[in-house]
Amino acid sequence: MNPLRSLVEYEQFVYTLQQRYASVRHSTLTVIRRGAGVARLAGDMEIGSYRLAVREKLSFVGETGRIASYGYEVWHGSEKLYWYDSQAHPDDPALAATHPHHKHIPPEIKHHRLPAPELSFTQPNLPFLIEEIEHLLTRNEKVPS
């Protein structure tokens, strides 16, 4: 079942993440309605010793909803470890396979990008992101590749 079928379903999905993932210690995620079919998701999730900062613009015009754009940042303490965003980089052929989905990683985090085939505009990205951080917790790593 895809919770992006409606804004109500997506809200329920977001507000029950803590119940489905024991690793989520705290969440300030909030769905903010901006009109009949437009919303924004913003806030942070504490997952173990990591913080996931979430920003999504959502559109629920038509039969199913979609994530219009996003930014996800993973922090450990005061250190930003990596981030995902949907900003297009059409001049980077290495990202063409998953355009515009990509991940920024060290070194030179702003310019070092990898394709992100796990991310989507038509399916929720939060389960993948939480599970990626859970994997970090089990391996005591800071930066996955």
The pLDDT, as a whole number, for residue 141 is: 55
56 within 8 A of 69, measured Cβ to Cβ: yes
Residues of the chain with pLDDT under 70: 141-145
User: What average pLDDT does the chain have?
Assistant: 92
The pLDDT, as a whole number, for residue 4 is: 93
58 within 8 A of 37, measured Cβ to Cβ: no
CA atoms within 13 A on the CB side of 131: 8
Cβ within 8 Å of residue 99, ≥6 positions away: 88, 89, 90
Residue 22: φ, ψ to 5°: -60, -25
CA atoms within 13 A on the CB side of 5: 6
- Nearest-5° angle of CA 12, CA 49, CA 58? 30
Identify the residue whose tokens are 């919303």: 39
pLDDT tens readout for residues 47-72: 999 999 999 999 998 778 999 999 99
The pLDDT, as a whole number, for residue 36 is: 82
